[in-house]
Amino acid sequence: MGIFLDIHQFACLNDNYGYLVHEPGSGETAAIDTPDAERYLAEADKRGWSITQVWNTHWHPDHAGGNLRLKEATGCRILGPSGEAAKIPGLDQPLKGGDVAVLGEAVASVIDVPGHTLGHIAFHFAGQSAAFVGDAVFALGCGRVFEGTMDMMWQSLKRVKALPAKTQLYCAHEYTASNARFAVTIEPENKALKDYVAWIDKQRSNGLPTVPALLERELATNPFLRADLPAMQLAMGFPGNASATFGEIRGRKDRF
């Protein structure tokens, strides 16, 4: 039997999600990214949890901007991408793909997912079927390629695609409704996508989140994860070339 983790998700800033991951055996709690330090402190306090660690996925201010405030308030250790060590405030433990992050009795594998930023990492708790993917992947979307190349981002998405299908992807933003509007322009006849869009509309009309996203469903509907399909490559004009197909889809989304 795997280690039980209590994952608390909450909205913060305009469209970010905050995450607190609590390991009851040790009492340790990790803040996954720090978009709003005061909100994290308040959410932890409501649950009687003490934040002992911060795990950053990348350096952007809506992910690492609250680091120093949380460290000041709690004395927590800060873990983050070694490739962005100079940009992660208060970093104590640099991490790269293949490393592990330890929270009490729970262990997460670190996955390199550069592209959105050059050092972006994700955290995968295999026993919990949970992956914290920051801005690398969204429900029906992926992060803009700000610092890397299209091929780099595609290789990162392939690492996410290789996780077990039942993995829940804890994305950092509620972008799903707008992503859905774009996705149907790429695959208008995708039945699984149509069903997903209907569910998304219902969730959002009721003020409910669409995150986490089940990887199995994303593999069937998320155009960015489907660039290796021959039909998708043909439709995008790059038969036999997954990386170029991904780049075409990403470019279309950027202009959408």
- Just list the catalytic residues: 58, 60, 62-63, 116, 135, 173
Cα gap 138→124, rounded to integer Å: 15
Cα gap 183→139, rounded to integer Å: 11
Distances (CA, A) of 212 to 101, 145, 150, 198, 200: 21, 22, 25, 17, 12
Cα gap 194→185, rounded to integer Å: 11
> Any idea which residue has 């983050």 for tokens?
80
> Would you state the structure tokens that stand for residue 199, as one six-digit string?
């569910």
Helices (H), the chain: 37-46, 61-64, 67-74, 150-161, 176-186, 191-205, 215-221, 230-236, 242-255
